[in-house]
């Protein structure tokens, strides 16, 4: 996928910081986002040869190796970029001090990728960086870009109380997956768009550029060939096979972060993906206590999120958990849950399971896709779902605009003909009683796959 989609705001801001660094002096930008979301591609686009003098751009990646090994690696990179004949650092602090000092005479954009992993290499370096940055910020012509994939940890480093780098950042960017309109644009550019296929691409990518690239590169899956089902079978025939990157992606993406406890984390995620969404049900299913695991998955790794009825307070114990991102929901539902078949390379079995269950799975993901479309529309300040105390009378999507006093209640269906307006009105009685929204205009709608383009166009004409 050669074309670069979206990110114009972030691109322009990053380029502006580097372009004006001689006048502004030291600027520190923080770029965070989940793995595979396209952070490195964004930085490469922002600081390519065309936008920044290649001699004024330096990229360093914090891999999880010894500090001595990183020092040797970085010295080689720096000497290839900068004349540093007598540069013989003993530690990472020496490297940063050299670069900060170098930039007092030459403008430099320094990108440090996977910045949070400094904690694994030498945690005291954060304090060293604070002292160095405070000393050089007003004299160095450096745009210092710290990029990381663990949002909570990066936020803690720069926003947490008593952290050395608290509020040292000038700009904090969170890179999100591509929204539905850009997924659609990718498909249109490939001559491959239909509403049904948009749902499939959503299930398999969630807007993560790396996964969209996989879909774009599947032979014979794009273009105008007859029937969406043919395209879908081609997609799964390619992705569920020996050597496909999808098979090992969950492990590659998560196991390094989870460390030695990765099996327990994976089991909890597998349970959630298979419908065990409350703590009590997960613990009963796995027969283990999972309080700490749930907290870490949510707070440290940003892999799961709590769901409460939109009418509930944040202190409510009526909590369900969901995996953040369609791709991981798909991977844990169909790949991890069938790992024995994967070990035996019985990919035909996996494809049969997907063929049997994908309609049900994608039906739930259709709700997530419609919610994402509502979020992208920027028309509402609160969006969620609802279920009553008995877990009944569930409402797929509730969207509220408190400024315009607008309440949208949505039923999501694959086919619009299955929508029953009166049933939705009756189900909503308890919701309206709990919300207590006076003088709000209440709208009842059906969002369906067979009329998805109408939904897209009505919410945002540019979609």
Q: Which residue has the higher pLDDT, 217 or 397?
A: 397
Instruction: Indicate whether 167 belongs to any domain.
Output: yes
> What kind and span of H or E run contains 173?
strand 171-174
Distance set, CA 415 to CA 282, 367, 368 (Å): 32, 13, 16
pLDDT at position 153 is 85
Whether residue 141 sits in one domain with residue 81? yes
pLDDT at position 463 is 47
Half-sphere exposure of 135 (CA within 13 A, CB side): 12
pLDDT at position 140 is 97
Whether residue 292 sits in one domain with residue 155? no
Q: Which domain holds residue 429?
A: 369-459
Distance set, CA 34 to CA 48, 114, 324, 366 (Å): 22, 11, 10, 22
Average pLDDT, the chain: 91
Is the pLDDT confidence value at 303 over 50? Answer: yes
pLDDT at position 224 is 46
Whether residue 160 sits in one domain with residue 12? yes
Could you give the 3-state DSSP secondary structure of residue 392?
coil
pLDDT at position 5 is 75
Instruction: Indicate whether 359 belongs to any domain.
Output: no
Whether residue 421 sits in one domain with residue 284? no
Is the pLDDT confidence value at 225 over 50? Answer: no
Instruction: Indicate whether 307 belongs to any domain.
Output: yes
pLDDT in tens, 396-439: 999 999 999 999 999 999 999 999 999 999 999 999 999 999 99
Whether residue 156 sits in one domain with residue 39? yes
pLDDT at position 53 is 57
Dihedral of the alpha carbons of 106, 107, 112, 116, in degrees to the nearest 10? 100
Instruction: Indicate whether 213 belongs to any domain.
Output: no
**Domain end call among 174, 200, 219:** 174
pLDDT at position 52 is 54
Q: What is the mean pLDDT of residues 210-221?
A: 86
Is the pLDDT confidence value at 330 over 90? Answer: yes
pLDDT in tens, 452-463: 999 988 876 454
Half-sphere exposure of 210 (CA within 13 A, CB side): 14
Q: Which residue has the higher pLDDT, 256 or 342?
A: 342
Could you give the 3-state DSSP secondary structure of residue 2?
coil
pLDDT in tens, 268-293: 999 999 999 999 999 999 999 999 99
**Domain end call among 174, 191, 209:** 174
Instruction: Indicate whether 217 belongs to any domain.
Output: no
Whether residue 260 sits in one domain with residue 165? no
Q: Give the orientation angle of helix 195-205 with respect to helix 347-377, to 10 degrees.
A: 100
pLDDT at position 226 is 44
Contact 408, 455 (CB under 8 A): no
Which runs of E-coded beta strand occur in 168-210? Answer: 171-174
Whether residue 330 sits in one domain with residue 406? no
Is the pLDDT confidence value at 445 over 90? Answer: yes
CATH number, domain containing residue 274 = 1.10.10.10
CATH number, domain containing residue 20 = 3.40.50.300
What is the Cα–Cα distance from 38 to 27, expressed in whole angstroms? 22
Choose the weakest-confidence range: 32-36, 46-50, 135-139: 46-50
Both tokens of residue 119?
Answer: 């904690």
What is the Cα–Cα distance from 438 to 446, expressed in whole angstroms? 24
Choose the weakest-confidence range: 129-133, 156-160, 378-382, 393-397: 156-160
pLDDT at position 161 is 86
In the block, residue with structure tokens 């540019």 = 462
Question: Which residues does 282 contact at the CB level (< 8 Å), separation at least 6?
Answer: 268, 271, 272, 276, 290, 294, 321
Is the pLDDT confidence value at 355 over 80? Answer: yes
CATH number, domain containing residue 388 = 3.40.1350.10
Is the pLDDT confidence value at 350 over 90? Answer: yes
Instruction: Indicate whether 279 belongs to any domain.
Output: yes
Is the pLDDT confidence value at 300 over 90? Answer: no
Whether residue 379 sits in one domain with residue 331? no
Choose the weakest-confidence range: 154-158, 172-176, 221-225: 221-225
Whether residue 409 sits in one domain with residue 319? no
Domain count for the chain, please give it. Answer: 3
Q: Which residue has the higher pLDDT, 1 or 196?
A: 196
pLDDT at position 141 is 96
Whether residue 379 sits in one domain with residue 324? no
Whether residue 386 sits in one domain with residue 337? no
**Domain end call among 344, 378, 412:** 344
Instruction: Indicate whether 234 belongs to any domain.
Output: no
- Res. 2 pLDDT band, cuts 50 70 90: low
Whether residue 13 sits in one domain with residue 155? yes
Residues of the chain with pLDDT > 90, as a percent, come to: 75
Instruction: Indicate whether 331 belongs to any domain.
Output: yes
């Amino acid at each position: 996928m050669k074309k670069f989609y979206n990110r114009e705001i972030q691109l322009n801001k990053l380029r502006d910081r580097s372009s004006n660094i001689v006048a502004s002096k030291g600027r520190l930008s923080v770029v965070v986002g989940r793995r595979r979301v396209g952070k490195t591609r964004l930085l490469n686009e922002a600081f390519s040869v065309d936008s920044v003098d290649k001699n004024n751009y330096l990229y360093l990646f914090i891999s999880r190796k010894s500090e001595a090994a990183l020092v040797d690696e970085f010295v080689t990179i720096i000497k290839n970029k900068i004349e540093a004949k007598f540069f013989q650092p003993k530690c990472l602090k020496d490297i940063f001090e050299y670069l900060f000092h170098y930039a007092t005479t030459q403008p430099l954009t320094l990108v440090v990728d996977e910045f949070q992993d400094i904690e694994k290499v030498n945690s005291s370096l954060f304090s060293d960086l604070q002292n160095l940055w405070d000393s050089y910020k007003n004299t160095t012509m450096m745009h210092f870009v710290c990029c990381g994939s663990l949002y909570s940890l990066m936020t803690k480093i720069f926003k947490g109380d008593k952290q050395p780098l608290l509020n040292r950042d000038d700009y904090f960017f969170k890179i999100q997956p591509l929204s539905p309109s850009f997924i659609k644009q990718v498909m249109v550019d490939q001559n491959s768009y239909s509403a049904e296929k948009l749902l499939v691409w959503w299930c398999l990518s969630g807007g993560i550029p790396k996964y969209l690239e996989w879909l774009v590169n599947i032979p014979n899956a794009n273009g105008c060939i007859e029937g969406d089902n043919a395209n879908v079978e081609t997609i799964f025939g390619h992705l569920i096979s020996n050597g496909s990157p999808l098979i090992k992606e969950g492990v590659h993406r998560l196991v390094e972060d989870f460390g030695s406890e990765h099996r327990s984390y994976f089991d909890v995620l597998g349970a959630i993906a298979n419908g065990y969404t409350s703590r009590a049900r997960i613990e009963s299913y796995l027969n283990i206590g999972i309080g700490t695991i749930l907290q870490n998955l949510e707070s440290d790794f940003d892999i799961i999120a709590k769901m409460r009825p939109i009418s509930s307070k944040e202190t409510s114990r009526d909590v369900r958990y969901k995996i953040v991102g369609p791709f991981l929901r798909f991977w844990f539902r169909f790949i991890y849950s069938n790992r024995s078949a994967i070990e035996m390379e019985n990919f035909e079995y996996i494809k049969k399971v997907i063929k049997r269950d994908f309609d049900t799975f994608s039906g739930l993901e259709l709700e997530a896709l419609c919610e994402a479309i509502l979020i992208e529309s920027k028309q509402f300040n609160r969006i969620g779902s609802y279920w009553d105390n008995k877990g009944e009378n569930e409402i797929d999507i509730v969207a509220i605009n408190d400024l315009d006093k607008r309440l949208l209640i949505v039923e999501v269906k694959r086919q619009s003909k299955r929508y029953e307006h009166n049933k939705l009105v009756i189900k909503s009685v308890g919701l309206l009683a709990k919300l207590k929204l006076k003088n709000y205009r209440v709208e009842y709608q059906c969002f369906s796959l067979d009329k998805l383009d109408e939904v897209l166009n009505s919410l945002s004409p540019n979609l």
